[in-house]
Amino acid sequence: MIAARFGRLPPLNQGFVRLVTETGNEKVQGMKRARGLLLLLGLLVPAAAQALTSSWTGTVTHVSDGDTLWVRPQQGGAPRAVRIDGIDAPELCQAHGETARAALVAHVLGQRVQLRVRRHDDYGRALARVRLHGQDVGAWLVSQGHAWSYRYRTQTGPYVQQESEARARRLGLFRQARAELPREFRRRHGPCH
């Protein structure tokens, strides 16, 4: 039945199977194509995973707000938008928003930083842990009272200890008895821009 439909099949030990259609005009090299596809996937998947969790160094060229900055890669190219992973700083139009941005500008603008990118957010920004001279910039911002440890559902975030200490010392935005989380501020007032 198969031989009648496809003609004589080559032996399987040639490394691929060549099927010839009834007309004999069209040749399909199934195993060869599959092998090529697997090779391509084998090259692309690790590269994509590395891109998502890459580490790189660059210079801070601009600070947009208290948790977003632009970093020019050391190897060259255009500056990339980076959101500091694990924190949530006040919106610029929110109480303490401009102060948080000014603190980040004074701390990192023009400085060489190391980034550990975890993933990219919905806006295309790299979500990264940022280090300056070995110090975690997110931890520093929270410990100075310029940002919250990022909360998600029941998780208190990676900098809950620094936030507790800043609250106890009533630093920065924690001077206010009931400082409003940025997501609650956006829900009530919309975005600043």
Residue 21 identity: T
Q: Is 187 a catalytic residue?
A: no
Question: Residue 108: which of 161, 55, 159, 144 has the closest Cα?
Answer: 144
Q: Do 67 and 88 touch, CB atoms closer than 8 A?
A: yes
Q: Is 98 a catalytic residue?
A: no
Which of 80, 91, 129, 180 is catalytic? The answer is 91
Q: Contacts by 129-135 with C-beta closer than 8 Å and gap 24+?
A: 129/84, 129/85, 129/86, 130/69, 130/82, 130/84, 132/107, 132/108
Q: Is 169 a catalytic residue?
A: no
Which of 80, 83, 129, 131 is catalytic? The answer is 83
User: b vs e for 90-126, b when ≥16 Cβ sit within 10 Å of the residue's Cβ?
Assistant: bbeebebbebbbebbeebbeeeebbbebeebeeeebb
Which of 80, 101, 125, 131 is catalytic? The answer is 125
Q: Contacts by 68-72 with C-beta closer than 8 Å and gap 24+?
A: 68/125, 69/104, 69/108, 69/130, 71/113, 71/115
Q: Do 67 and 141 touch, CB atoms closer than 8 A?
A: yes
**DSSP-derived secondary structure letter, 180:** P
Catalytic center residues: 83, 91, 125
